[in-house]
Amino acid sequence: MNDYEEFYSKKGAADHAIQRCIETGIIHVYSEVSEGKFHVRPDKPINAPQVIESGFTFTNGDELAAQAKAPKLQAIESLLSTIVEVNLVEYCKTIGWRGDVDEYPKQKDFKVAIVQKLIEIAKENNWHVTHNTGFFYIFNGAYWIALEDGEVKQMLKESAIRMGHNEIECRDILFIDKLFQQFVFSGFFNERNYTKQSIINLKNGSLVLSDKGVELKAFDYRDFLTHQLDFNHDPSAINKLFIDYLDVVLPDKDTQRTLQQVAGYLFIKGLKLEKVFFLYGTGANGKSVFFEVLSGIIGNENISNYSLESLTDDKGYHRAMIKDKIVNYGTDVKLNNIDPAKLKTLASIEPIEARLPYKNPFMMTDYAKLIFNVNRMDSANIEHTHGFFRRLTIIPFNVTILEKDQDRDLHKKILMDKAGVLNWIIKGAQEVITSRDLFVSDECEKFKKQFMKETDSVAMFEEQVIIERKKPSYYEKVTIAYAEYTDYCKEVNYKPVGRNNFTKRMESIGFEKKKNNMGAFLKKTFSVERF
């Protein structure tokens, strides 16, 4: 096992831990494994570099580690294979070092020479490397692979060794840190271009989506794609099992179309629909099958699974982890725990501040779209504005699958034909590209309106208190109405809004505010149909 393989065998499992345990700026190490489960040790918080260098092992992490290291290891080894031994003393002279006859270049001279020679080799062999917002990327011939600082340092160390530099010095952490700084300072990097084309990268080429159709083309580093799906494009493939599954869990064809366009939108660039997508259902309704199928199509390496609360917090650690991902597919959401302003920014795919622990903040511009599976949507303490709700698209999964009809392996059977599922997704993407908007079914709209009402404590006060009195009209002083409202909130365990906000919300649902010498009143007349 060489140094690189050893590094990755430790790091693959560590990555798995890091992905799931960034908490309040500290990474808690998952230090032992039992029956496939990682156990957190909150008493031992350490930072990411320490995790990578710690050397602890994971007894059943071999497969995970192999999956994590393979693409990077192959790409880096491909670059390193072009490096041969060099007379670094003579090379120092060719790039400007001057010394007496018996004088030998110093460490700082070798540091510059190694990086300069590496740049020469990179140019000769048409390497593609870029450095963007603190992240390194290398192109493996099909897509760009992100490298962490520690991985770049390992590559530089191995490069120096292969050039023939003193191996002891190459293993010195201070020397490697200086070599890394010199490499960054050198500025030898491709400029990152953010393509406006909508492209799905597959095993047999890059599939360009447009309103004119789809076109399969050769891989191109200039597209700066950071993903590759693990199967070929087959335009004739149809996954009948997947269509049958949809007909069961979403019998309304228009709602199927909404879901199809949501899946297609994940691959569309340059179109800001400003949407966050919720798949709602109380259980045994097929949501988890769709999650597994979409994960299988896109690939776990292209998906993150963070909560909406963590993505909108002030620290920004979790936000940094959705950079270059296709989708963040999370689970249950507590809408009253989110930052509405950050949600709006994330939904719009606009630049947003993020950072990794122990690193500087950066503005993140290319990151995942957001989908969440939710079982409950009953928060009454969320922001009630048009701008907030406009960004929510909710797809209800209302069919309950009887236990005798449930197939625990259905997603695996569907994924036997990934190309067929992808063609379904592509159709949705093309519809969105053509219309420049997302089709939302009447069923989705109806559910959203009901959700808006049930999460509005003021609207529920009208529904469950005022209308329950079954009087044709309401005319009450604002102070008394607000007191009744706060009593109702205490009874049902809702957090009441302030009095001014209460009055505005009452006006927004049809109450008229009147003033006379007795004070301010709220007035509304109800139709007979409301009773």
Q: How far apart are CA 189 and CA 183, in angstroms?
A: 10
- Indicate the residue type of 54: S
pLDDT at 470: 80
Task: Give tens-digit pLDDT for 345-356.
Answer: 999 999 999 998
Q: What is the pTM of this model?
A: 0.78
Q: How far apart are CA 243 and CA 251, in angstroms?
A: 11
233-450 and 456-530 share one CATH topology?
no
Q: Tell me which architecture the domain covering 456-530 has in CATH.
A: Orthogonal Bundle (1.10)
pLDDT at 385: 64
Contact between 191 and 220 under an 8 Å Cβ cutoff? The reply is: no
Q: How far apart are CA 291 and CA 287, in angstroms?
A: 6
Tokens standing for residue 312: 């909108």
The tens-digit pLDDT sequence of the chain (531 residues) is 444 444 444 444 444 444 444 333 333 333 333 333 333 333 333 343 333 333 333 334 455 445 656 778 888 888 899 999 999 999 999 999 988 877 889 999 999 999 999 999 988 888 888 888 778 999 999 999 988 888 999 999 999 999 999 999 999 999 999 999 999 998 877 777 766 789 999 999 999 999 889 999 999 999 999 999 999 999 999 999 999 999 999 999 999 999 999 999 999 998 989 999 999 988 889 999 999 999 999 999 999 999 988 999 999 999 999 999 999 999 867 776 788 889 889 999 999 999 988 888 999 988 999 999 988 765 555 666 666 788 889 999 999 999 999 999 999 999 999 999 999 999 999 999 999 999 999 999 999 988 887 778 898 899 899 998 888 899 999 999 999 999 999 998 888 989 998 999 899 889 999 999 999 999 999 875 554
Contact between 278 and 455 under an 8 Å Cβ cutoff? The reply is: no
Closest alpha carbon to 318 in 300, 338, 334, 336: 338
In SS3 terms, 318-374 reads as HHHCCECCCEEEECCCCHHHCCHHHHHHHHCCCCEEECCCCCCCEEECCECEEEEEE
Domains in the chain: boundaries: 1-81, 233-450, 456-530
Write the class of the CATH domain 233-450.
alpha beta
pLDDT at 477: 95
Q: How far apart are CA 256 and CA 290, in angstroms?
A: 12
Q: How many separate helices (H) and strands (E) can be counted in the chain?
A: 21, 19
Task: Give tens-digit pLDDT for 103-115.
Answer: 889 999 999 999 9
Contact between 136 and 324 under an 8 Å Cβ cutoff? The reply is: no
CA dihedral over 324, 329, 332, 333, signed as positive or negative: positive
CA dihedral over 256, 262, 267, 273, signed as positive or negative: positive
Q: How far apart are CA 513 and CA 499, in angstroms?
A: 13
pLDDT at 454: 77
